[in-house]
């Protein structure tokens, strides 16, 4: 591992065992909400557009939102991975399409308060959450269009600053970031995408896999 490494990791379905956004839509969404999700998957709507529409239709109070986020299980291997990274002096940044404050509170409940969280923002109007895309993101590196929080932007900046980038992810919003990672760990939909598009990656199932591989072995890429 490089002393100049920085680890970027997705949150939903990566640090957590379930995707908070999917769970929110399933539990509190309407038929309209689910239609927007279908249009995002088909490419008719960008991530930035669909997530704003989700929150407009779900009309979540902060109490409902936080209770739902707190109920999502943490990957049991993440605390050990976090401790190993801290021991080696390698910073971790969570990059997510979810609301940053929700992620920070979730991690704090698991005793993790000192890693950077780069997520979206929110305000409260008439007692319900209004979703606000991350500040300063106006240009996309992704062919799928602008995300609410452009993950690849943060990896590009780190590489331009001379950092060796590690990325860990699982889903559709990780696709653009995957192309800017010097070392990529992928599972689920992201692994399938990398396999189909000849992007070298290391397959993982949980953070125990990532921890054992990154801190004990040289990368052993799965060639597509």
Question: How are the residues of the chain apportioned to helix, strand and coil, as percentages rounded to the nearest 5?
Answer: 45, 20, 35
Do residues 158 and 185 both lie within one domain?
Answer: yes
In angstroms, the CA 202 to CA 192 distance is 12
Domain-embedded: residue 221: no
Domain-embedded: residue 128: no
95 close to 177: Cβ distance less than 8 angstroms: yes
pLDDT at 151: 92
Which of 69, 87, 103 terminates a domain? The answer is: 69
Three-class secondary structure of residue 41 per DSSP: helix
Domain-embedded: residue 38: yes
Do residues 101 and 83 both lie within one domain?
Answer: yes
* Residue position matching structure tokens 């990672």: 181
Q: What is the pLDDT confidence band of residue 223, given thresholds at 50, 70 and 90?
A: very low
Query: Is the pLDDT higher at 135 or at 84?
Result: 84
Cβ neighbours of 57 (radius 10 Å): 17
Consecutive H or E run containing 63: helix 62-70
50 close to 204: Cβ distance less than 8 angstroms: no
Domain-embedded: residue 115: yes
pLDDT at 72: 98
Domain-embedded: residue 200: yes
In angstroms, the CA 110 to CA 11 distance is 14
Do residues 52 and 139 both lie within one domain?
Answer: no
Mean pLDDT over 120-149 rounds to: 80
Concatenated DSSP letters for 65-89?
HHHHHHTSPBPTTHHHHHHHHHHTT
Asked if residue 30 has pLDDT above 80, the reply is yes
**What tokens were used for 93?**
């940044």
Do residues 52 and 160 both lie within one domain?
Answer: no
Domain-embedded: residue 222: no
C-alpha torsion angle, residues 156, 158, 163, 165 (rounded to 10): -60
Q: pLDDT digits over 31-90, tens only?
A: 999 899 888 888 888 888 889 999 999 999 999 999 999 999 999 999 999 999 999 999
User: φ, ψ for residue 121 (rounded to 5)?
Assistant: -115, 170
Domain-embedded: residue 224: no
Q: How many structural domains does the chain have?
A: 2
Domain that holds residue 84: 5-17+74-121+135-216
Do residues 165 and 204 both lie within one domain?
Answer: yes
């Amino acid at each position: 591992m490089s002393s100049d490494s920085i680890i970027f990791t997705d949150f939903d379905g990566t640090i957590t065992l379930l995707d908070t956004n999917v769970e929110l839509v399933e539990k509190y969404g309407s038929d309209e909400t689910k239609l927007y999700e279908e249009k995002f998957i088909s490419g008719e709507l960008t991530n930035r557009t669909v997530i704003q529409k989700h929150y407009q239709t779900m009309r979540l109070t902060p109490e409902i939102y936080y209770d739902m986020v707190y109920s999502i299980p943490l990957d049991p291997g993440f605390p050990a991975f976090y401790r190993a990274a801290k021991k080696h002096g390698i910073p971790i940044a969570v990059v997510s399409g979810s609301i940053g404050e929700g992620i920070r509170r979730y991690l704090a409940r698991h005793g993790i308060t000192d890693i950077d969280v780069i997520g979206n923002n929110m305000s409260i109007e008439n007692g319900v959450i209004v979703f606000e895309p991350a500040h300063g993101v106006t240009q996309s590196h992704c062919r799928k269009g602008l995300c609410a929080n452009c993950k690849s932007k943060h990896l590009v900046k780190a590489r331009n600053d001379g950092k060796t980038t590690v990325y860990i992810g699982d889903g559709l919003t990780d696709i653009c970031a995957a192309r800017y990672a010097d070392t990529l760990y992928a599972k689920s939909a992201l692994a399938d995408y990398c396999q189909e598009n000849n992007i070298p990656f290391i397959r993982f199932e949980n953070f125990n896999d990532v921890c054992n591989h990154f801190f004990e072995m040289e990368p052993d890429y799965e060639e597509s």
